[in-house]
């Protein structure tokens, strides 16, 4: 039997409701594979949740260590799955644990980057590491709102929709790939036909590197100076009120747009510069609520600019929507991938709203939407989490 220790250890900004521990606790009465315990003197798994901004206080880690030492068979799972990378808070956590008596083999890492071997190599992880798409379950929990004791999550009806705009594209934090596609949408004046936001928040405002890649993709109109371009694309668009609606929720008007542009994060490129010729980076995929909300709400979507992400989605059992259109996707590299999505967006914008409506309301499209919703409700990533814990227990 797997025993999960019921105490929340985390960095100060790590939201409890987004953690694997929260998922396990609130699903425990429906899953006989594990139990929740407050007694660390029995063999159990202790979760420690680390974000990329703040160190876990040493006094919190001292309590982790104290409970770990109550039983020889206890294991620790350091959860980093809310991001696809780790930074100093992770290293501080594991170094403190090891330096204060936690056995190396008793530490396991839960990663959000699905290319596990590349994650381990990138960040020099010396511990047994497992990967999980934690946002599939976190988004389900967000919808279910266990604090209100909902026993069943209602499914939105999948049905033909009347649309009045082409795209939904809601972006808060600026990242390289998002900035490239924002520049494309600005140049083509596609913002007017969409529900669109670009808050330009985060640690990476438009810079000279963005300018050089805008020139590479011919995203600057003739006669515009470099400074004019930087000023123009840096101006935020604020039609959505994320403070009121919440980042994980959709405005009702999204239901009357054709396609949701899901601009996922891609840290290896965004943080380390453009290493377009490194083949292995194509296998790095990270999915957040931005992707999973489409499956639940029954919306066709595109994830522009990340090679082979669509193929990975299909490996998970979901279906993508690029093939509903005529533009072929180039997944051989970032440049080709960016350019093929530019062409695909151009193709969609060349349609009348009625033509786009016919495509997204086709039998094939509705079948894909229904299928994705059913797979989402299977919650396969939560099942994978339980299997991971079983593997850890087998190490006792």
pLDDT at 277: 47
pLDDT value at residue 93: 98
Give the separation between CA 194 and CA 164, rounded to whole angstroms. 9
What is the per-residue pLDDT for 395? 66
- Contact between 130 and 116 under an 8 Å Cβ cutoff? The reply is yes
Q: What percent of the chain has pLDDT over 70?
A: 90
Mean pLDDT in residue range 198-212: 77
The CA distance from 174 to 180, in Å, is 10
Scan for tokens 């009702």, then name that residue. Answer: 252
Predicted local confidence at residue 326, as pLDDT: 97
**200 or 225: which leads in pLDDT:** 225
Confidence of residue 268 (pLDDT cuts 50, 70, 90): low
Nearest-angstrom CA–CA distance, 95 and 282: 31
Tell me which residue of 132, 141, 111 sits closest to 27, measured CA to CA: 141
Residue 279 confidence class, pLDDT cut points 50, 70, 90? very low
Contact by Cβ (8 Å): 286, 81: no
The fraction of the chain above a pLDDT of 90, given in percent, is 61
Say which residues have a Cβ less than 8 Å from residue 167's Cβ, sequence separation at least 6.
Answer: 190, 193, 194, 195, 196, 257, 258, 259, 260, 261, 345, 348
Residues 6+ apart with CB under 8 A from 234: 200, 205, 206
Contact status, residue 118 vs residue 280, Cβ threshold 8 Å: yes
Average pLDDT over residues 32-41: 95
Write out pLDDT tens, residues 296-310: 999 999 999 888 888
Band (31; pLDDT cuts 50, 70, 90): confident
Residue 47 DSSP symbol: E
> What are the backbone angles phi and psi of residue 345, rounded to the nearest 5°?
-65, -40
Does residue 221 have a pLDDT over 90?
Answer: no
What is the per-residue burial (b if ≥16 Cβ within 10 Å, else e) of 157-186?
ebeebebebbbbbbbbebbbbbbbbbbbbb
339 contacts 327 by C-beta, under 8 angstroms: no
- Model pTM score: 0.91
Residues 6+ apart with CB under 8 A from 198: 169, 171, 174, 178, 182, 236, 237
Q: 28 pLDDT band (50/70/90 cuts)?
A: confident
d(CA 213, CA 176): 10
Does residue 22 surpass a pLDDT of 80?
Answer: yes
Residue 171, pLDDT score:
83
| Model pLDDT for residues 226-259, shown as the tens digit of each residue | 888 888 888 776 666 555 556 777 777 788 999 9
Q: Per-residue pLDDT for 205 more than 70?
A: yes
Confidence at 280, pLDDT banded by 50, 70, 90? very low
Question: Per-residue pLDDT tens for 94-151?
Answer: 999 999 999 999 999 999 988 899 899 989 999 999 999 999 999 998 888 755 555 5
208 neighbors 234 (Cβ within 8 angstroms)? no
Q: Which residue has the tokens 């649309």?
A: 163
Residue range 255-268: mean pLDDT, rounded: 86
Lowest-pLDDT choice from 65-79, 203-217, 325-339, 358-372: 203-217
Extended strands (E) in 56-138: 75-79, 107-111, 128-131
pLDDT, residue 317, reads 97
CB neighbour class for 371 (10 Å; exposed up to 12, middle 13-18, buried from 19)? middle
- Tell me what pLDDT residue 238 has: 65
Q: What pLDDT is stored for residue 101 in this prediction?
A: 97
**388-395: average pLDDT:** 90
What's the pLDDT score for residue 172? 78
For residue 99, the tally of other CB atoms under 10 A from its CB is 9
CB proximity list for 210: less than 8 A, separation 6 or greater: 176, 179, 180, 183, 230, 233
| pLDDT tops 90 at residue 345 | yes
Alpha-carbon distance 379 to 23, whole Å?
11
């Amino acid at each position: 039997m797997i025993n999960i220790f019921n105490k929340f250890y985390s960095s100060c900004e790590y939201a409890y409701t987004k953690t694997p521990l929260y998922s396990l606790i609130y699903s425990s009465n429906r899953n006989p594979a594990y139990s929740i315990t407050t007694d660390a003197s029995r063999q159990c798994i202790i979760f420690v949740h680390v974000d990329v901004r703040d160190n876990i206080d040493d006094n919190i880690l001292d309590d982790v260590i104290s409970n770990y030492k109550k039983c020889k068979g206890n294991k620790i799972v350091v959860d980093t799955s809310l991001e696809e990378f780790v930074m100093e808070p992770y290293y501080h956590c594991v170094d403190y644990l090891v330096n204060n008596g936690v056995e190396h083999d008793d530490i396991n890492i839960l990663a959000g980057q699905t290319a596990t071997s590349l994650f381990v190599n990138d960040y020099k992880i010396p511990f047994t590491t497992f990967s999980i798409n934690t946002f599939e379950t976190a988004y389900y929990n967000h919808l279910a709102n266990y604090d209100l004791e909902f026993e069943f999550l209602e499914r939105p009806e999948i049905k033909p929709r009347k649309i009045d705009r082409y795209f939904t594209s809601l972006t808060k934090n600026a990242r390289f790939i998002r900035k490239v596609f924002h520049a494309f949408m600005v140049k083509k004046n596609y913002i007017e036909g969409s529900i669109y936001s670009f808050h330009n928040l985060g640690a990476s405002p438009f810079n000279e590197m963005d300018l050089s890649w805008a020139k590479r993709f011919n995203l600057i109109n003739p006669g515009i100076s470099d400074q004019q371009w930087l000023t123009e694309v840096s101006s935020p668009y604020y039609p959505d009120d994320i403070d009121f609606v919440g980042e994980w929720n959709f405005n009702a008007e999204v239901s009357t747009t054709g396609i949701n542009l899901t601009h996922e994060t891609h840290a290896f490129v965004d943080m380390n510069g453009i290493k377009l010729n490194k083949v292995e980076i194509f296998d790095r995929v990270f999915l957040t609520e931005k992707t999973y909300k489409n499956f639940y709400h029954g919306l066709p979507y595109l994830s522009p600019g990340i090679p082979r992400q669509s193929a990975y989605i299909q490996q998970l059992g979901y279906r993508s929507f690029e093939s509903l259109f005529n533009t072929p996707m180039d997944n051989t590299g970032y440049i080709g991938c960016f350019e093929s999505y530019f062409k695909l967006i151009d193709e969609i914008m060349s349609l009348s709203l009625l033509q786009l409506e016919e495509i997204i309301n086709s039998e094939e499209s509705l079948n894909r939407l229904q299928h994705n919703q059913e797979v989402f409700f299977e919650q396969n990533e939560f099942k994978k989490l339980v299997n991971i814990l079983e593997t850890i227990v087998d190490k006792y």
